[in-house]
Amino acid sequence: MAKQKIILATTSPRRHGLAQTMGLDFEIVPSSYEEDMTQKMNPREMVMAFSYGKALDVSKKHKEGIVIGVDTICVFKGKNLGKPSSDKDAFKMLKSFSGKKQYVYSGVCLIDCKTGKTIKDYEVTEVYFKKMSDNEIKSYINTGEHKDKAGGYGIQDLSSIFIKKINGCYFNVMGFPIYNIYKNLTKLGVDIFQYERWSGVGIDKV
């Protein structure tokens, strides 16, 4: 297996951090692809389309290397939820989750810039919430940790106190399903054990 340049088509610090845990030496190249949450697609179709759009946009700018595009949404009662538009929107989302189950979908797309080979995949995780009081939700929102997170929460931060259990990949809820990505990297001939520790190339582009 050859050692290839890995390019992350994302500005998300959480995804950068999780890529580091995999031992990948990667470059960060933000995608200019614009998501359209109004499109009528089921959750699986939506995240796969968005992750492909991100990866394709970045792959066009490189002659070699493997681009990884990931997109994550929360789904509740059949409705696709992205990032809250305001604190009020975040409160509404979290209030609706109280004592209930919702789903986190992530689309994963890998593109080999040299060969054009493309892999599209997805991951889904069930997230079970405890019953939350209005005061708990407001206190959490006041921390600001809900911002820039699909569904208005992050399983890795303070909102973890609201989550009773999950069924599926923990890292998927964080927006970077590690096993899924590793599995698909190997299909493109990548041996992650050949990589040295992350060097931070491209971090100035964020």
**Per-residue pLDDT tens digits for 39-75:** 889 999 999 999 999 999 999 999 999 999 999 999 9
Residue 1 domain-assigned?
no
Query: Residue 123 pairs with which residues in a beta bridge?
Result: 106
Residue 132 neighbours by CB under 8 Å, 6+ apart: 94, 95, 97, 98, 99, 162
Residue 202: inside a domain, yes or no? no
CA torsion through residues 144, 180, 42, 117, sign: positive
Instruction: Give pTM, 2 decimals.
Output: 0.86
Largest Cα–Cα distance of the chain, in whole Å?
54
Domain that holds residue 172: 6-194
State yes or no: pLDDT of 25 exceeds 90.
no
pLDDT band at 204 (very low <50, low <70, confident <90, very high): very low
| 8 Å CB contact between 175 and 14 | yes
Q: Residue 204 domain-assigned?
A: no
* pLDDT for 188 beyond 80: yes
126 occurs within a structural domain: yes
| 85 or 204: which leads in pLDDT | 85
Q: Which residue has the tokens 């080999």?
A: 112
Residue with tokens 């792959």: 59
pLDDT value for 40: 84
Which residues are catalytically annotated? 71
Residue 169 tokens read as 């990949």
pLDDT at 125: 98
Q: Cα–Cα distance between 128 and 54 in angstroms, integer? A: 29
DSSP 31: -
What is the tens place of the pLDDT at every residue in 85-112?
999 999 999 999 999 999 999 999 999 9
The verdict on residue 199 lying in a domain is no
Q: How far, CA to CA in Å, does 99 sit from each of 29, 53, 87, 134, 200?
A: 39, 35, 20, 13, 41
CATH number of the domain residue 99 falls in: 3.90.950.10
Total tally of structural domains belonging to the chain: 1
Closest listed residue to residue 77, CA positions, set 96, 60, 59, 55: 96
Report yes or no on 103 lying in a domain.
yes
**Residue 27 pLDDT greater than 50, yes or no:** yes
Q: What does the pLDDT look like over 119-177, one tens digit per residue?
A: 999 999 999 999 999 999 999 999 999 988 888 998 999 999 999 999 999 999 999 99
Asked if residue 201 belongs to a domain, the reply is: no
Question: What percent of the chain is helix, strand and coil (3-state, nearest 5)?
Answer: 35, 25, 40
Taking the C-alpha atoms of residue 123 and residue 117, their distance in angstroms, rounded to an integer, is 20
Computed from CA positions of residues 156, 141, 98, 48, in that sequence, does the dihedral angle turn out positive or negative? negative
Q: Is residue 56 assigned to a domain?
A: yes
